[in-house]
Structure 1
Amino acid sequence: MDGECDALDPDDDGDGWFDVDEIACGSDPLNSSDIPLDSDADDICDLVDNDDDGDGVNDDDDAFPLDSNRSAVAPVPDTSNASLYATIDTGIMLGTEEEGSIAYKGVPYVAPPIGELRWRPPVAAAAWTGVFNADSYPPFCPQPDNNLGEVGGVEDCLYLNVWTPADRGVNESLPVMVFLHGGGNFLGSSTSPLNGTLENTNSTPTYEGQRLSAHGRVVVVTLNYRLGVLGFLTHPGLIDEEGYSGNYGLMDQIEALKWVQRNIAAVGGDSERVMLFGQSGGGRDVCLLVTSPKAAGLFSRAAMHSIPCGNQPYSQAVTTRNALLAEMSCQTDGATSTELTAAEQVACMRGKDAIGLVSAVSAQPLGLASGAFRPTIDGNIITGIARSLFASGDYNHMPMIIGTNGLEYAHRWTDITAAQYPGYINATFGSDAAAVLAQYPINRSDFAGDGSKAYSTVMSDKNAVCPTRSLAASIAASQADDLFYYRFHQVLSTTDRKGDGAYHTTELLYLFQHMSGDAFSATDDERFTEAAMLEYWTSFAATGVPSGDGLATWLNHDATDEYYLSINSTLELLQRAKESDCEFWNGL
């Protein structure tokens, strides 16, 4: 409608791209919403451009063809420092030494999921020539921030980081610990900073693995995976393409585990002793991968921190998808108001900016750490409801660690008075409020009249502690392999802590050995807890049994004894964690 007939108009749809260029680039010259992908904005589409990121390195020779800050071209290996080099299936990479470990950061494990690869299963990463300098962390995947006020990240984010002890022997084969970060599957990254857990500005990555690797003599792997709408959208048009849709973030995790199986020996790892562990949303993903036939044989031990395990109901996935389609103007034709076909809706969504998608109102969390787009039964990665699969024994059996922190949500509610506490309970539980107040009265000995502690305990028990206890019971009853259950109670001494209690994520500060780093002035009790967690978790990675010299014996959790380890500076083996409170929630 520009007053010029299509036969004479070089740009029929008025999108700023000449028709001849759109045809060469594979976009529709008659659809203004379908424009060529041009990553470096040089007016040459990526399909034609030999240097998509404009960094001067040809795409064929660039391990990061969409990141102008990184490429794979480097000098020929320096044999005088041979221990820093490793050869994997895509080429040679050069690491750096960090606190007794060798680190390889930002290693591509699949191709960037951009353009037509958005909402598709991951494909193999490109090989490179020369040497890849693996010396910098990768960018994080698109996501809203914790306050949902700003967004950030890039789709070219699927990279992993590896640490291996610098003094390992030439033929030494070490256990491997692969970590999946938390964030409800809509936030977070392999480099999530300490200031997400503490009230400070410390940007040190929480999951940096050099001390865990060096102190525990293990190979550590952390990774990014697709999040939110970009990681978990379901749609009939996507099913038409692949036979299934959704769970792209879980597919990424599986490909990272396959990368480990192919390549970890190159950095001293034992592919037959791979422990997959994760926290919060990452812990849920570990749990779901334990149930997935697609992940069978890729890891042999699992540890799930602060979950419960579950998947989004498909009806909810449909509701949030349709809301997002409408918000992004991809549900109906704007001119005719007729509904677009499934393929047209997918094409429209693929043409949208990633930041626009993750910042959409309908893509925001639905509640307490509950992402709008989460893992869903797809018949491919997830074949059924997790709790049913565990109850029936239909999952990948292996030794497991499972547990929660003493007061998971202590950081969320810090200023509730005793007088306000009943109002919070009434607002949250409605007709069940009286029963909840009877089970959790403000004068209970573990609350001592503290409204914040009382309400945090209620919400922690309902949403994390008791569902995890039930999951532990199902696992213990359905497999012969050992299950080790824990409750973490060490409270941070720093005044930068966000709450008074062992709250969500704080156990990772000990496991990743931050008490030995520069971020804390740790007490003797905290250093003891840090050392104990190191021994328990790394011995579990090595043998399938958590143990340590001079430490409390951690016995298998079964239906009869229900043993669990209370973790703080006075390690105790106890029985029947939160029995009365959890029986209350089971019966409510």
Structure 2
Amino acid sequence: MASSKAGSTSGVSRRSVVAGGLALAASAPAFAAAPAGTVRAPAGDFVGTREGGVHAFRGIRYGRAERFRAAVPVTQPGTRVPAQRFGPICPQKAEGDEPRSEDCLFLNIWTAEPRAAARKPVMLYIHGGAYSNGSVTDPMNDGQRLAARGDVVVVTVNHRLNAFGYLYLARLDPRFADSGNLGQLDLILALQWVRDNIAAFGGDPNCVMVFGQSGGGAKIATMMAMPAAKGLFHRAATMSGQQVTASGPLNATARARAYLQRLGVTDSNLEPLLTMPTERLVDALDATDPILGGGVYFGPVLDMKWLTRHPFWPDAHPQGLAIPMLLGNTHDETRAFLSPDSPRVQGLTWDNVADRIAPELRIDILPEWVVAQYRQRFPDWTPTQVFYDATTCGRSWRGQVIEAEERAKAGAPGWVYQVDFGSRTDPRRGAFHTMDIPLVFGTLDAAGSQTGTAADARAASAAMQESFVAFTKTGDPNHHGLPNWPRYELAGRTTMIFDVRSRVEDDPRRWQRELFARVPYIQPGT
């Protein structure tokens, strides 16, 4: 991606240069890695690679941990440390060929100018996959093109997931007092590493934005309520990921017992857990959740040690109110989870749509009434359109609305967006969950991206990327080339709609918001 300096007097707008860079990046072959210089940081002397004008440092260890215990920082001052390959990701059920290990506390850095005087804003990304799956080694999360702009340093972080990061054992064995929130503590440890070392890579430790999609956004919302994270980041952006409430300790303990039973371990003697092969712990992740049914849920726990109140209940946690925040969702979230080709969607009719919607809404509301309301409001819609809109608005969007409105009530700085740019490879999917990842990273041609690389995708990507970078720099997403984007306030509920031609709307989907506000929202898993 082309790099340009703010304040350029070349006569070409900065946004034009960036959009042109996106066009080149979208069609360019992968950059060949070349040896790069050494960055001397307090934690070690790191040797990375140079790729397309960007210095990349992969697989930097930020911590080490024993099973079910909090991690400790790892530093090697003055020691030459190779940083040319991704570290292993956390063991998980999800398919993939990346190396996996419980020893997975590694981060990656992309920077165009690795010198302390550069002091560029830092964008630190936390991956999705709920709290159980995923990694930042996904090609759509690659930071090269975002860093190649030349005005930000990009960091991506892997951490412990599922049972390794969120199995709550504290009520069963005092040795595991920090369990239940270990994945969160890993992220906090990574942010401490960034605070202490990122200046050597050209980053400004006093201007760090955390951004994350899906589970990554939920982890960020949770950190905004964790005293241990205070002061470690200065902006926050959540992309289709919210955490209104955490798992209660009693439910979390019931889930731990279900998982232990699947392993054949009694809750009165957890010693076998410490030596059990990793593979067995992964296999048992399919234990039945005693609260929700389905696979056992893992997520942050209201343990009264690291997390002492819910992130957004009964209101927005006071700790996060001073942090400017971007909150976004895609227009068709559930088209990612519920494939148009799946049995749940195939054969939808007005006779069966209520029954099929009911378990997907995740709230206790009369599904027949919901369908009737939709048919009256949108008489031209098909059962499939009603199914996807209701499940998106009743299930995936509710948490974001609650978070944005609680912050607005408190007068906290916040901006809300909605992604309407839809799949170009399978139009049936619309603007599905994860659609915004390649748009923000500029990885339009990466494996898994459905944006395409045409001018429309480049325009949507430039709009999102410029907004995220402006927000990182200033705490305000407004920039030249987009309509004025006001803060989210209850009077207007102004929302940026990112699309081929991005625009601002007041209170989009007001009807759906009011419809589902009739019943309480229960955060899945809590």
CA shift, 1:164, in A, is 0.6
Q: Alignment partner for residue 248 of structure 2, among 313, 318, 327?
A: 313
The aligned counterpart of 2:415 is 484
CA shift, 1:130, in A, is 4.4
1:514 aligns with 2:443: yes
CA gap 1:436/1:123 in 2 versus in 1, 3 angstroms = same
The 2-side partners of 1:266 and 1:585 are apart by 49
The 1-side partners of 2:42 and 2:288 are apart by 38
The aligned counterpart of 2:24 is none
CA gap 1:359/1:436 in 2 versus in 1, 3 angstroms = same
CA shift, 1:95, in A, is 1.2
CA shift, 1:82, in A, is 10
Q: Which amino acid aligns with 2:272?
A: C
CA gap 1:526/1:120 in 2 versus in 1, 3 angstroms = same
The 2-side partners of 1:109 and 1:83 are apart by 21
The aligned counterpart of 1:155 is 102
The 2-side partners of 1:102 and 1:88 are apart by 15
Q: Deviation digits for residues 352-388 of structure 1, max 9, x if unmatched? A: 1122112215547787998622111112222112222
1:354 aligns with 2:288: no
Aligned-CA RMSD value: 2.8
Q: Which amino acid aligns with 2:424?
A: S
The aligned counterpart of 1:460 is 392
1:142 aligns with 2:88: no
Judge conservation of contact 2:225–2:311 (CA < 8 Å) in 1.
Answer: yes
Judge conservation of contact 2:238–2:327 (CA < 8 Å) in 1.
Answer: yes
Judge conservation of contact 1:118–1:350 (CA < 8 Å) in 2.
Answer: yes
The aligned counterpart of 1:14 is none
The 2-side partners of 1:308 and 1:370 are apart by 20
The 2-side partners of 1:134 and 1:223 are apart by 14
The aligned counterpart of 1:405 is 330
CA shift, 1:455, in A, is 1.1
Q: Which amino acid aligns with 1:103?
A: A
SS of the residue aligned with 2:125?
strand
Q: Alignment partner for residue 181 of structure 1, among 127, 144, 156?
A: 127
Q: Deviation digits for residues 448-497 of structure 1, max 9, x if unmatched? A: 32x333212111111111221121000111144x20100011012235x7
The 2-side partners of 1:369 and 1:537 are apart by 36
CA gap 1:219/1:422 in 2 versus in 1, 3 angstroms = farther
CA gap 1:213/1:364 in 2 versus in 1, 3 angstroms = farther
The aligned counterpart of 2:456 is 525
Worse-superposed segment, 90-99 or 380-389: 380-389
CA shift, 1:259, in A, is 0.5
The aligned counterpart of 1:548 is 479
The 1-side partners of 2:88 and 2:98 are apart by 13
CA gap 1:585/1:216 in 2 versus in 1, 3 angstroms = farther
CA shift, 1:169, in A, is 6.9
Q: Alignment partner for residue 325 of structure 1, among 260, 271, 290?
A: 260
TM-score, normalised with respect to structure 2: 0.83
CA gap 1:127/1:369 in 2 versus in 1, 3 angstroms = farther
SS of the residue aligned with 1:175?
strand
1:252 aligns with 2:186: yes
The 1-side partners of 2:319 and 2:339 are apart by 39
Q: Alignment partner for residue 444 of structure 1, among 365, 378, 384?
A: 378
The 1-side partners of 2:44 and 2:500 are apart by 45
1:213 aligns with 2:140: no
Q: Alignment partner for residue 133 of structure 1, among 82, 106, 109?
A: 82
The 2-side partners of 1:255 and 1:408 are apart by 31
The aligned counterpart of 1:102 is 55
The aligned counterpart of 2:220 is 286
The aligned counterpart of 1:435 is 369
The 2-side partners of 1:158 and 1:392 are apart by 28
The aligned counterpart of 1:165 is 112
SS of the residue aligned with 2:391?
helix
CA shift, 1:307, in A, is 2.0
CA shift, 1:323, in A, is 1.3
Judge conservation of contact 1:566–1:572 (CA < 8 Å) in 2.
Answer: yes
SS of the residue aligned with 1:580?
helix
The 2-side partners of 1:370 and 1:324 are apart by 10
Q: Which amino acid aligns with 1:360?
A: A
The 2-side partners of 1:155 and 1:137 are apart by 14
Q: Select the structure with the greater relative contact order (CA < 8 A; seq sep ≥ 6).
A: 2
Q: Deviation digits for residues 41-96 of structure 1, max 9, x if unmatched? A: xxxxxxxxxxxxxxxxxxxxxxxxxxxxxxxxxxxxxxxx9963111223111111
Q: Which amino acid aligns with 1:222?
A: T
The 2-side partners of 1:181 and 1:369 are apart by 23
Q: Which amino acid aligns with 2:442?
A: Q
After the TM superposition, which parts of structure 1 deviate over 4 Å for at least 4 consecutive aligned residues?
361-371, 516-521
Judge conservation of contact 1:421–1:452 (CA < 8 Å) in 2.
Answer: no
Q: Alignment partner for residue 265 of structure 1, among 184, 199, 203?
A: 199
Judge conservation of contact 2:89–2:104 (CA < 8 Å) in 1.
Answer: yes
CA shift, 1:210, in A, is 0.5
- Select the structure of larger CA radius of gyration: 1
The aligned counterpart of 2:166 is 232
The aligned counterpart of 1:575 is 506
CA shift, 1:226, in A, is 0.5
Q: Deviation digits for residues 318-346 of structure 1, max 9, x if unmatched? A: 22111122222220xxxxxxxx63xx31x
CA shift, 1:244, in A, is 4.2
Judge conservation of contact 2:170–2:177 (CA < 8 Å) in 1.
Answer: no
Judge conservation of contact 1:421–1:455 (CA < 8 Å) in 2.
Answer: no
The 2-side partners of 1:534 and 1:361 are apart by 36
Q: Alignment partner for residue 490 of structure 2, among 532, 535, 559?
A: 559
Q: Which amino acid aligns with 1:217?
A: D
The aligned counterpart of 1:118 is 67
Judge conservation of contact 1:363–1:372 (CA < 8 Å) in 2.
Answer: no
Judge conservation of contact 2:140–2:446 (CA < 8 Å) in 1.
Answer: no
The aligned counterpart of 2:157 is 223
The 2-side partners of 1:485 and 1:251 are apart by 28
Judge conservation of contact 1:484–1:556 (CA < 8 Å) in 2.
Answer: yes
CA gap 1:418/1:555 in 2 versus in 1, 3 angstroms = farther
Judge conservation of contact 1:218–1:538 (CA < 8 Å) in 2.
Answer: yes
Judge conservation of contact 1:91–1:127 (CA < 8 Å) in 2.
Answer: yes
Judge conservation of contact 1:93–1:131 (CA < 8 Å) in 2.
Answer: yes
Q: Which amino acid aligns with 1:563?
A: T
The 1-side partners of 2:234 and 2:303 are apart by 24
The 1-side partners of 2:332 and 2:306 are apart by 32
CA shift, 1:434, in A, is 1.8
Judge conservation of contact 1:216–1:535 (CA < 8 Å) in 2.
Answer: no
Judge conservation of contact 1:510–1:529 (CA < 8 Å) in 2.
Answer: yes
SS of the residue aligned with 2:236?
strand
The gaps in structure 2 that reach 5 residues or longer are 1-33, 360-364, 520-526
Q: Deviation digits for residues 282-336 of structure 1, max 9, x if unmatched? A: 10000011111111000000001102313223332122111122222220xxxxx
Q: Alignment partner for residue 91 of structure 1, among 39, 44, 64?
A: 44
TM-score, normalised with respect to structure 1: 0.75
- Taking only the aligned residue pairs, the percentage that are identical comes to 28
Judge conservation of contact 1:178–1:275 (CA < 8 Å) in 2.
Answer: yes
The gaps in structure 1 that reach 5 residues or longer are 1-80, 193-204, 332-339
